Amino acid sequence: MDLLNTLVDKGLRRELPTREEALAVLATSDDDVLDVVAAAGKVRRKWFGRRVKLNYLVNLKSGLCPEDCSYCSQRLGSKADILKYTWLKPEQASQAAAAGLAGGAKRVCLVASGRGPTDRDIDRVAGTIKAIKDENEGVEVCACLGLLSDGQAERLREAGADAYNHNLNTSEATYGDITTTHTYADRVDTVSKAHAAGLSACSGLIAGMGESDEDLVDVVFSLRELDPDSVPVNFLIPMEGTPLAAEWHLTPQRCLRILAMVRFVCPDVEVRIAGGREVHLRTMQPLALHLANSIFLGDYLTSEGQAGRTDLEMIADAGFEVEGADELTLPEHRVTAGGGCGSHGEADAGCGSHGDAGCGSHEGGGVCGTAAPAAAAPAANEARTDLVAVRRRGAGTDLAPNA
């Protein structure tokens, strides 16, 4: 296919595709999906080899948010039966982080629900960063605390944070349809503040909220302009008790096309599969590793992921390898150009501002995607509420985390 040859050539040269080319990737048919994956996979391997970076989420403060992001189970008025708790103590957060790091993660993502941190919240998070870094030499820490006020990004940087996550989530044109309590411009401003403070910027999107292909291309092109080091791609988990609970639009093939489009537009950036991986890609997850070079290990903010061990087995079976703490994530040219945080440098997904995901696995590590076989195979875009499990273990509970 001429389109794919052109996009591979551009990706290998770090050249931006046209909007029409990005849209054409999303418009390819299911019959062509392996060709699309193979093409974008060449770009992925050029810049990231076969490495997969593992990141670990620690939800520092869960639920009870005053904002109204319609995709979020922690939003104002959410009826989702999620864990709700206030700030974890530094030692509790450090303990949760240690489990993820022992499981192979090299980055810890500290996330808190809410519009944005107070200065006292920044002090708390500074204490948590210190506790984690004191115990784990070389660990990368990303904070995701919502909208930042002037000076807060600098304070986080001084406290040892390597990165800051704040997602754009969707196109500017549709932002007002999913959230009314803050604006798209607010989000852009926070990503810019993080960048300016020398934090590695992480900003991504949520697919599956009823947006058009044009919206998806718009948000990815906007992200490319912001030049984050990492782009988390969330696939909406339509959680019961949220306004988007009925929005089951994604198929595994659609998710692969979206990841391929992001890879072509952001060829040398860390592309991370975030929430919804297990729920929407299901048994096609290994193919997605040919597109993204980063995933979350274990559970998400308010929902459960597949067992951490299953993540590791999947990576090995698919012929990839977990990125080591001493390996650079980003290509050399991005690190030396000042992007990122020194020897590492990228960011991740997180703040309650992301579409958290999960799956049907429960304590004990049931493998999602293999749970609850039906008598007849479900349709590709059927509601798979059977694969969504609210998180009941790890941070904020007495049960061991999934890692």
Interface ranges with ligand SF4 (CB under 6 A): 65, 67, 69, 72, 74-75, 113, 115, 146, 351-353
Q: Could you tell me the smallest distance in angstroms from the CB atom of residue 310 to ligand SF4?
A: 27
Parallel, antiparallel or unpaired: strands 107-112 and 140-144: parallel
Nearest CB to ligand SF4, comparing residues 72 and 197: 72
User: Quick one: tokens of 183?
Assistant: 């604006």
> How many Å from the N-terminal Cα to the C-terminal Cα in the chain?
41
Kindly name the residue from 51, 75, 107, 109 that is annotated as catalytic. Answer: 109
Q: Tell me whether residue 181 or residue 212 sits nearer to ligand SF4 (CB atom).
A: 181
Strand partners of residue 118: none
Shortest spacing between CB 148 and ligand SF4, in angstroms: 13
Task: Give min distance, CB of 115 to ligand SF4, in A.
Answer: 6
Active site residue 272: yes
Structure tokens at 305: 């992921």
Query: In angstroms, what is the minimal distance from the CB of 169 to ligand SF4?
Result: 8
Residues 6 or more apart in contact with residue 269 via CB below 8 angstroms:
228, 229, 230, 231, 330, 334, 346
Establish whether 255 is a catalytic residue. no
Q: Which element (helix H / strand E) includes 195?
A: helix 184-196
CB proximity list for 130: less than 8 A, separation 6 or greater: 90, 159, 160
Nearer to ligand SF4, 243 or 369 (CB): 243
Check if the beta carbon of residue 357 is closer than 8 Å to that of residue 275.
Answer: yes
Residue 114 vs 331, nearer CB to ligand SF4: 114
The minimum distance between CB 292 and ligand SF4, in angstroms, equals: 22
Check 44, 51, 72, 107 and give the catalytic one: 72
Tell me if 80 sits within 8 A of 322, measured CB to CB. no
Q: Does the annotation mark 72 as catalytic? A: yes
* Catalytic residue (choose from 69, 144, 255, 341): 69
Catalytic residue among 51, 124, 157, 272: 272
- Active-site residue, from 107, 124, 142, 257: 142
Give the residue from 352, 350, 58, 403 showing the smallest Cα distance to 232: 350
Report which residue's Cβ sits closest to ligand SF4.
Answer: 352
- Catalytic positions, written as ranges: 65, 69, 72, 109, 142, 202, 272
